[in-house]
Chain A
Amino acid sequence: MRASARAHAKVRRTLVSAGASAATAALLLTGCSSDPAETSKQGGQSGGKDQTTLTVGVFGAFGLQEAGLYDEYMAQNPGIRIEQTSIERNENYYPQLLTHLGTGSGLADIQAVEVNNIAEITATQADKLVDLAKAPGVDKAAYLPWKWAQGTAPAAKGGATVGLGTDIGPQGICYRKDLFEAAGLPTDRAAVGALWAGDWNKYLETGKAYKAKAGEGKAFVDSASGVMAAVTGSSAQRFYDEQGKVVYKTNPAVRGAFDLAASFATEGLSAKHQQFTPAWDQGFSNGTFATVSCPAWMLGYIQDKAGPAGKDKWDVAQAPKPSNWGGSFLVVPKAGKHAEEAAKLAAWLTAPAQQARLFEKRGSFPSASAAYRLPAVSGAKHDYFGGAPIGEIFARAAEGVPVAVVGPKDLVIAQNLADIGMLQVDQKGRSPQEGWEAAVKAIDNALDQ
């Protein structure tokens, strides 16, 4: 959920309105007739040479185009032209992708898929997608094993690797040095990381120590649901078991994460925010909370919201346990006209060198572990966060993330746990038990077909 939240946090603008659907309808009507004309027109532009146009469909500000990767590929391959279409929010993008896969039309040659949707894609759509493990230039060993596993269909569905990982979201804990100092806690990032190393409970204990000294109106964490996302992200089994059965209700890891996060609320350590809302943004600029679990992609967001006044106040330390939050994949639909060329492009876009570029330019952390040895990553420091060696911190987190079992409805379960269950505890002061029951009820309703 949170990477989609990231997508709409970046540009939270319009919904797909009536106007947009009317436009889509018009496109559908004219689609069949205009295609050949368009191809010939492009042929004309390139002086009669055979030029292939590859389309890439993404959600939000995905970064591939912004980092200049398309331009570079087109320069290297004069026969290829790349066009990107983007839909702002994944919650609008993903249903449309499913409909298009269902009808086999309206698809881009390459489509992006958010990590919370990838299990559903590999489980239900693998037969409609190209097996990218066999694409030229793809090296399985270059990827993090857990990321590779997420993009691979279950053996029962053919076991094809239909999704190539782009970025991931290894987590650290971002904290305010000035607030830590005022509360008598260490401010050096190694010492801060040591406060809670290895155990999320120590993070809670640190929070209690912080609260004892910090005084009224200063919270330790931004939100209880942020903590919950981080804690669940660090366990191998979450909402589904290996057989694909929904087990979140009985899995002690999930309930444990819920209860731990809830105690941040009941202990009065939370600023009671809902993440990616305007109030949360204002919390950053007003310094109302001292820490936030931050995946690599969130650093830019914090810098944005906390503004120049927050420079040298924020720093980032290692999280208690390695954990992942967010990330995306590229898939190539078989129905595309240029599936072979598209697979080649997808492989190139997700190769370690390009992922390192994406990190350098956009801060999206590479899922190809081979990229961590490249200087663009290994030597990366973040000026805003006191020159923190973010390449090193997040690479260590990324390599420690367990191979998690992902299920088709992870998104729905995570979303209801956070936005129903945890929010009721955090913002409405309900008991953790009440919050849990409300979330379970909503999830049962959502999973029931």
Chain B
Amino acid sequence: MTDETALLSPSPARPVREGEGGGRGQVWRSRRYRWDLRFSPYAFVAPFFLFFAAFGLFPLLYTGWAALHQVELTDPDSMTWVGLKNFTRLWDDEFFWNALRNTVTIGLLSTVPQLLIALGLAHLLNYRLRGSAFFRVAVLTPYATSVAAATLVFVLLFGRDYGMVNWALSGLGFGPVDWQNGPLASQVAVSTIVVWRWTGYNALIYLAAMQAVPGELYESAELDGASRWRQFVHVTVPSLRPTIFFTCVVSTIGATQLFGEPLLFNGGAGATGGSDHQFQTLGLYLYEQGWVNLHLGRASAIAWAMFLILLLIAGAARLLRGRGEAR
């Protein structure tokens, strides 16, 4: 759609400025240019938001709507309005609180060691090493392993009768631990899988951030007589603060949604999280309500409760961080 008047404009060599004489075409063209400048970026990002609306926002809102109803998966079309009942009943639902408690403890048991080890690993990888590329790829391999495969191996390792962990423990003179049934033991075992899978991933993020720390800082610290350890504490860690914050946020979200590891750690039993629900996380409880017991309304309420919990955590973190920066 060529603009003919624009092509025929009197002096094409002279730049046309806005408001300067010219024909209607020039006005039109400059207006289009402004529109282009203003709106094109939106058009470019639009596909993401369209997909987000279809696969993110709509399910979110629909879940919220379903949470206010009694809906069964056997007949998802018939919804009975129950108001906030699905939410209020969570207060008295001991399985929900149990799952929440487990999610918090497993989250802490996995996130804290995971990030500390990752920081240490990144620090080591940041040294000039022979074959550093190999080590960097190597730390990432657990992350590339599928949850299912990794968990099945860990189930074998943590076996009660013939597991390698118990075999090693008995070698050290400790009795066999029933890793699947002990409340704490099972949570430690599940956390181990998470730590194993995600440490390398976080280490690489830390490593990338570490390499952006200006070398002069280390040089001057060294001139001041700071040891490697003090350099790490006083130069590396403070420079990494935004990165650490980022990994904390991502790990918290991951921990809240923990699902695959506890599900598969439970052998054939599905979503119960052990005979005493000892490692049933919120994600598992949501799955059990929705896809085993087929109560979509209750499951939706749990999903929204998880979402609200995350928002609360995010809000708290923001407050803390804001205060930290103001100081």
B18 at the interface (CB under 8 A from A): no
Select the stretch in A145-153, A184-192, A275-283, A298-306 that faces chain B.
A275-283
Residues of chain B within 8 A (CB-CB) of A445 are 93, 95
> Are A438 and B276 also in contact (CB < 8 A) when A12-B152, A13-B148, A279-B160 are?
yes
Among B74-82, B196-204, B205-213, B304-312, the one that faces the other chain is B74-82
CB < 8 Å neighbour of B260 from A15, A428, A446: A15
Residues of B with Cβ closer than 8 Å to A?
55, 70, 72-77, 93, 95, 146-148, 152, 155-156, 159-162, 178, 180-181, 260, 263-264, 267-270, 272, 275-277, 288, 290-295, 297-298
| A263 to B204 CA separation, bound complex (whole angstroms) | 54
A-B contact pairs, 25 of them (CB 8 A): A5-B268, A12-B152, A91-B270, A91-B291, A92-B291, A95-B291, A102-B77, A274-B180, A274-B269, A283-B161, A286-B162, A408-B74, A412-B293, A419-B269, A419-B272, A420-B275, A420-B276, A420-B277, A423-B275, A424-B276, A428-B275, A445-B95, A446-B293, A449-B295, A449-B297
Q: Report the separation of the CA atoms of residues A277 and B163 in the bound assembly, to the nearest whole angstrom.
A: 13
Q: Chain B contacts of A290 at CB under 8 A? A: none
Interface size class for chain A? 35 or more
Residues in A neighbouring B156, C-beta threshold 8 A: 278
Query: Given that A99-B76, A102-B76, A449-B70 are known contacts, is A274 also in contact with B162, CB under 8 Å in the complex?
Result: no
A276-B267 contact, Cβ under 8 Å, with A423-B275, A427-B181:
yes
Contact of A102 with B148 in the complex, beta carbons under 8 Å? no
Contacts of B73 in A (CB 8 A): 95, 98-99, 102
Contact A282 B95 (CB under 8 A): no
**A275 — which chain B residues lie within 8 A by C-beta?**
268
Contact with B263, one of A15, A95, A98, A102 (Cβ below 8 angstroms)? A15
Asked if B275 and A424 sit within 8 Å, CB to CB, the answer is yes
Contacts of A92 in B (CB 8 A): 291
7 closest cross-chain pairs (CB), A and B: A277-B267, A276-B268, A423-B275, A419-B269, A124-B74, A446-B293, A95-B291
Contact A102 B75 (CB under 8 A): yes
Contacts of A124 in B (CB 8 A): 74-75
Q: List residues of A (10-25) whose CB comes within 8 Å of B's CBs.
A: 12-15, 25
Q: Pick from A14, A98, A103, A424: contact of B294, CB below 8 A.
A: A98
A120 within 8 A of B: yes
Assess the A279–B162 pair: CB atoms within 8 A.
yes
A288 contacts B by Cβ under 8 Å: yes
With contact pairs A91-B291, A278-B156, A286-B162 given, residues A420 and B148 touching in the complex (Cβ less than 8 Å): no
Distance (whole angstroms) from the CB of A231 to the closest CB of chain B: 19
A5–B269 alpha-carbon span in the complex (Å): 8
Residues of chain A from 35 to 75 with CB closer than 8 A to chain B in the complex: none
A419 touches B160 (CB 8 A): no
A contact residues around B55 at 8 Å (CB): 25
Do B267 and A278 have beta carbons less than 8 Å apart? yes
Residues of B contacting A283 with CB < 8 Å? 161
User: Roughly how many angstroms separate A275 CA and B266 CA in the complex, as a whole number?
Assistant: 11
B144 to chain A, nearest CB (A): 14
Chain A, residues 298-328, CB within 8 Å of chain B (1/0): the string is 0000000000000000000000000000000
Contact of A419 with B275 in the complex, beta carbons under 8 Å: yes
Q: How far is the CA of A12 from the CA of B149 in the complex (A)?
A: 10
Residue of B nearest to A271 (CB): B161
Listed in ascending order, the chain A residues whose CB lies under 8 Å from chain B are 5, 8-9, 12-15, 25, 91-92, 95, 98-99, 102-103, 120, 124-125, 274-279, 282-283, 286, 288, 408, 412, 415-416, 419-420, 423-424, 427-428, 438, 442, 445-447, 449
Q: Is the CB of B275 within 8 A of A14?
A: no
How far, in angstroms, from A279 to B142 measured CA to CA in the complex? 24
- Does the CB pair A412–B292 fall under 8 Å? yes
Q: Which residues of A contact B276 (CB under 8 A)?
A: 420, 424, 428, 438
Q: Measured between C-beta atoms, what is the minimum distance from A329 to chain B in Å? A: 16
Asked whether, in the complex, the Cβ of B293 is within 8 Å of the Cβ of A278, the reply is no
Query: A449 to chain B: which residues have CB within 8 Å?
Result: 70, 72, 295, 297-298
Shortest CB-to-CB span from B61 to chain A, Å, is 17
Which of chain B's residues have a CB closer than 8 A to the CB of A427?
178, 180-181, 275
Bound: A447/B295 CA distance, A:
9
Task: Please give, as numbers and ranges, the residues of chain B lying within 8 Å of A9 by CB-CB distance.
Answer: 268
- Which residues of chain B have C-beta atoms less than 8 A from A15's C-beta? 147-148, 260, 263-264
Q: Give, as a whole number of angstroms, the nearest-CB distance from A273 to chain B.
A: 9
By a CB distance below 8 angstroms, the chain A residues around B269 are 274, 415, 419, 423
Cβ-closest chain A residue relative to B297: A449
What are the residues of chain B within 8 A of A99 when measuring CB–CB? 73, 76
Q: How close is B143's CB to chain A, nearest CB, in angstroms?
A: 15
- Given the interface contacts A427-B181, A428-B275, does A277 sit within 8 Å of B268 by beta carbon? yes
Distance in Å from the Cβ of A121 to the closest Cβ of chain B?
Answer: 9
Q: A15-B263, A428-B276 are in contact. List 7 more A-B contacts (CB 8 A).
A: A91-B291, A95-B291, A98-B73, A98-B294, A102-B74, A415-B270, A420-B277
Q: Are B75 and A279 in contact (CB under 8 A)?
A: no
Measured between alpha carbons, how far is A120 from B75 in the docked complex, in Å? 11
- Kindly list chain A residues whose C-beta atoms are within 8 Å of the C-beta of B180: 274, 427
Residues of B within 8 A of A12 (CB): 152
Asked whether, in the complex, the Cβ of A282 is within 8 Å of the Cβ of B159, the reply is yes
Given A91-B292, A277-B155, A445-B95, do A282 and B268 touch, yes or no (CB 8 Å)?
no
**Most chain A CB inside 10 Å of its own CB: which residue of B77, B146, B159, B161:** B161
Contact partners of B268 in chain A: CB under 8 A: 5, 8-9, 274-277
Inter-chain contact B76/A274, CB cutoff 8 Å: no
The residue of chain A having its C-beta at the shortest distance from the C-beta of B293 within the complex is A446
Chain A residue at minimum C-beta to C-beta distance from B289: A446
CA distance A442 to B277 in the complex (A): 10
* A389-B102 Cα distance, complex, nearest whole Å: 50
Q: Is the CB of A120 within 8 A of B293?
A: no
Closest to A95 in B: B291
Closest-CB distance, B196 to chain A (whole angstroms)? 18
In the complex, A449 Cα to B275 Cα: how many Å? 22
Among residues of B, the one whose C-beta sits closest to the C-beta of A275 is B268
Could you tell me the distance in whole angstroms from the C-beta of B90 to the nearest C-beta in chain A?
12
In the bound complex, CA of A276 to CA of B267 (Å): 7
Known contacts A415-B270, A424-B275; A120/B74 CB under 8 A: yes
Identify the closest chain B residue to A6 (Cβ).
B268
CA distance A286 to B260 in the complex (A): 30
Complex CA gap A416/B292 in Å reads 11
Per the bound structure, the CA–CA distance linking A186 and B148 in Å amounts to: 44
Residues from chain B with Cβ under 8 Å of A25 in the complex = 55
